[in-house]
Amino acid sequence: MEGVAPAVSLFRPRPSARFPVLLAADSVAARRSPSADGWSGVSMRSLETSPPRAGRSAVRKHGSTESAPRRSGITRVPRLGPAVSTKRAGRRKDPLINLEVSRHRAVAAVRLLRIEKGKAFVDLLNEKANDSGDNEMGYVERTLGFSTRYLEDWDIRLVTVIVAGTVRWKRYLDYLIMSLCSEEKVFREMEPLLLQILRIGFFEILKLDVPAYAAVDENVRLAKVALRPGAGNMVNAILRKLLLLKETNSLPLPKIEGDDRAQARALSIIYSHPVWMVRRWIRLHGKDEALRLMNWNNSDPRFSLRVNTSKGYTRADLVKQLESLQVHHEESVMDEFVRIQEGMQAVLQAGLLKDGMCAVQDESAGLVVSVVDPQPGDTIIDCCAAPGGKTLFMASRLSRQGKIRALDVNKGRLRILMDAAKQHSLDDMITDIHADLRLYAKETTAKYDKVLLDAPCSGLGVLSKRADLRWNRQFEDLEELMCLQDELLDSASTLVKPGGILIYSTCSIDPEENENRITTFVQRHPVLVHNNQHGFFFFLEYAGELRIFVLIERINRPLTN
């Protein structure tokens, strides 16, 4: 079906067991070991020795003989007591560790639940994985009432793919789940955790190359242990109904028919995008281009690594490291960049970023820097600099001659930028300025050879990389962003030296944030724009790698040139 991302084989068979096995591990006695289950020094429990507990599929708290009432979703989340270690995520003095619940599915379900509540983002687990600042395993225990074994690299990859894919296809998945429920009310009143488990199962069956028995059995087991037996039975019935419909090629999807509004609603379900985006893109780009754009947004994103030439590394050095890590890659047309689609965890854990050998950076950002064209001796200001990818790249081009001011309103993100600058041995080239550009431009007398304004925008050009962004954007956001972009552009223009240049860029594909902002700027400042003492460049980015349009206008010359 058009719009469906290619199937990805991510399933690895795991040994089955008769019953869910729990470990009650003392934090002092328990030690990691190379054994099959990854633990030693623990006392094992199973359903054969533990009486069933109401509402928890025979999972009971260590040391307790009392039954507990049924849990509903996460409305009765167990609290962590003072014995919880803040250093190790999810580790209590006496935690329950379930060895039979699929660990990557448990983590994915909890992360999806947190995303739904606005408490988390769709991103890669970092190189510390289970000891990360998000305390991923701690969230699992607090939400589900038990822990899983720590995640291996393969599990982290699966969590990343499942979470991003499930969020990306949420509208499509929810439509099918609702269609397969006995009535719409069942879907509308479904427990949040149960809905996340169903979404995972539907995504695995429809979009990933996961064997049907694994998708059904593992998600049923998760629902039974995390919620109650009845929830598992419901998951089992709905997933098996889905399998039957898939095998007979009779998924109950809407037909693309009727007026423009009705067709847009159907397309928004099939391609899992907000209706307003679909209608807007069809109006702006035509139906074929809108479908192509949505297909791209639903594809697995590629990531680019930029080698740090300021430390003396070459792309050949980076390629050699990737080959040693067995990370599939391809070289970009831009000399400093290498593309990868998988293997980011290997890159992180090998310390290539931490050691300053390379940085994760989109090639479109490199394109912006190529337009800036930093030259030794230049003074440059990056007006919305954090998190700093473009700033670092520009500094590496200066051959240690010249200065860059990195300005941003977010102090924490500026600190991250300067830490990265130190890793890349570029901190002597960069000075951070914590300020609002609009206030800074009024108060300073400084002028710069080159002014880069990579403006805050809707991000509609990078939806393949930011899976949750489509659901967090409203049409009304565009109007607010347009006003902000105008104000920032006016302020940035006052920082340009006579003969200097201003570069404006976004990662949006909407003309209201791009061409129209330039048009209104020219209308507001006709004298400034046509003054031969200033050379204004306006760079408009059609981002997202689907296709990139670059429009550079020398405004101090006839616009037809």
Strand partners, 40: 31
DSSP track, 276-299 = HHHHHHHHHH-HHHHHHHHHHHTS
389 is in an annotated binding site: yes
SS (H, E, C) 465-513: CCCCHHHHCCHHHHHHHHHHHHHHHHHHHCCEEEEEEEEEECCCCCHHH
* Residue 14 CB burial class (10 angstroms; 0-12, 13-18, ≥19): exposed
Q: Do the beta carbons of residue 203 and residue 215 sit within 8 Å?
A: no
436 is in an annotated binding site: yes
Q: Give the separation between CA 346 and CA 20, rounded to whole angstroms.
A: 31
Query: Can you tell me whether residue 552 is helix, strand or coil?
Result: strand
Q: Give the separation between CA 345 and CA 325, rounded to whole angstroms.
A: 10
Q: Tokens 């981002």 appear where? A: 543
Q: Give the separation between CA 372 and CA 433, rounded to whole angstroms.
A: 20
Q: Which residues contact 198 (CB under 8 A, 6 or more apart)?
A: 177, 190, 219, 235, 238, 239
Q: Looking at 65-188, which runs of residues are DSSP E strands? A: 96-98
Q: Give the separation between CA 291 and CA 2, rounded to whole angstroms.
A: 9
387 is in an annotated binding site: yes
Q: Which H/E stretch holds residue 219? A: helix 212-226
386 is in an annotated binding site: yes
Q: Do the beta carbons of residue 135 and residue 90 sit within 8 Å?
A: yes
Secondary structure of the chain: what % helix, strand, coil (to 5)?
Answer: 40, 10, 45
Residue 527 CA: distances (Å) to CA of 495, 498, 502, 533, 537: 16, 14, 16, 11, 16
Q: Which residues contact 264 (CB under 8 A, 6 or more apart)?
A: 275, 278, 279, 282
94 is in an annotated binding site: no
Least Cα distance to 149 among 109, 90, 94, 97 occurs for 97
- Rounded to the nearest 10 degrees, what angle do helices 212-226 and 103-116 cross at? 70
390 is in an annotated binding site: yes
477 is in an annotated binding site: no
408 is in an annotated binding site: yes
Least Cα distance to 102 among 233, 200, 237 occurs for 200
384 is in an annotated binding site: yes
Helices first, then strands: H and E counts in the chain: 21, 16
- Can 507 be counted among the known catalytic residues? yes
- Regarding beta strands 379-382 and 448-454, do their DSSP bridges make them parallel or antiparallel, or are they unpaired? parallel
Q: Give the separation between CA 148 and CA 151, rounded to whole angstroms.
A: 8
Least Cα distance to 110 among 427, 189, 102, 433 occurs for 102
427 is in an annotated binding site: no
Q: Give the separation between CA 517 and CA 486, rounded to whole angstroms.
A: 7
Pick the catalytic residue from 358, 383, 457, 507. 507
Binding residues for S-adenosyl-L-methionine: 384-390, 408, 436, 454
Binding residues: 384-390, 408, 436, 454
Known catalytic residues are 507
